[in-house]
Amino acid sequence: MTSGENVAVGRIGVIGDIHAQQMRLALALALLEARGVELIVATGDIADGPGSVDECCKLLAAHDVVAVCGNHDRWLLAGTARDLHDATAPGDISETSRAFLARLPRMVEIATAKGTALLCHGLGPNDMAKVGPDDYGYALDSNDELQNLLRNGYFRWVINGHTHRRMVRAFPGLTIINAGTLLPDRSPCFLELDFEQEIALVFEFCPDGTIAPVPTRIALS
């Protein structure tokens, strides 16, 4: 697990599952940089969508985005699950993009102004693990990855994706922040996290691909 920043950051831009949505990715990066966030992160799944993985990798690299590997990126590199809808063919990405995806870590630890955050795709090292807004009772008690994070007590925040469902959900000592996705049929959005004020700003995309002018504010605690 690598370290995203040595100095604690106060405001972070978060982009969820990208799925080759290069146009929305470019708009999100431009807005977040214009707002002066200290760091931009991405939760993985750059691959498998109708757009260009190459262009997405170029954008992430050019804007120094701290990204992790998602299960779709892992599958693309291994040449598996290529019968999925909108799967990226291994031959459709450049060697530069392949190398970029291969370098992505599973997890990144980030020091924030209000405690340590874990950037991952699923939960911890398991890129297929998840917790949703409707999970309660046994679904939580039997979620080994979630329970490990709660028992460990090291992380104050988990920033993840995978489910394509935007979510801020607090557990004792741990808040999970799911950035959602850029996919057009899944309420596409991205986030700005202000850890000092403990507020998330949700920037939603309109059906025409533009960004809604007024973000939604969600408390992080």
Tens digits of per-residue pLDDT, 129-179?
999 999 999 999 999 999 999 999 999 999 999 999 999 999 999 999 999
DSSP state of 49: S
The tokens of 10 are what? 């106060």
Q: What is the distance between the alpha carbons of residues 176 and 159, in angstroms, rounded to a whole number? A: 6
At a CB cut-off of 8 Å and minimum separation 6, what does 176 contact? 131, 157, 158, 160, 167, 168, 169
Residues of the chain with pLDDT under 50: 2-5
The per-residue pLDDT for 221 is 81
The per-residue pLDDT for 135 is 97
DSSP state of 1: -
The per-residue pLDDT for 5 is 47
Write down the CATH number for the domain with range 2-219. Answer: 3.60.21.10
The per-residue pLDDT for 6 is 65
Nearest to 71 by CA among 122, 105, 146: 122
The per-residue pLDDT for 125 is 96
At a CB cut-off of 8 Å and minimum separation 6, what does 195 contact? 9, 10, 11, 12, 112, 113, 114, 115, 157, 220
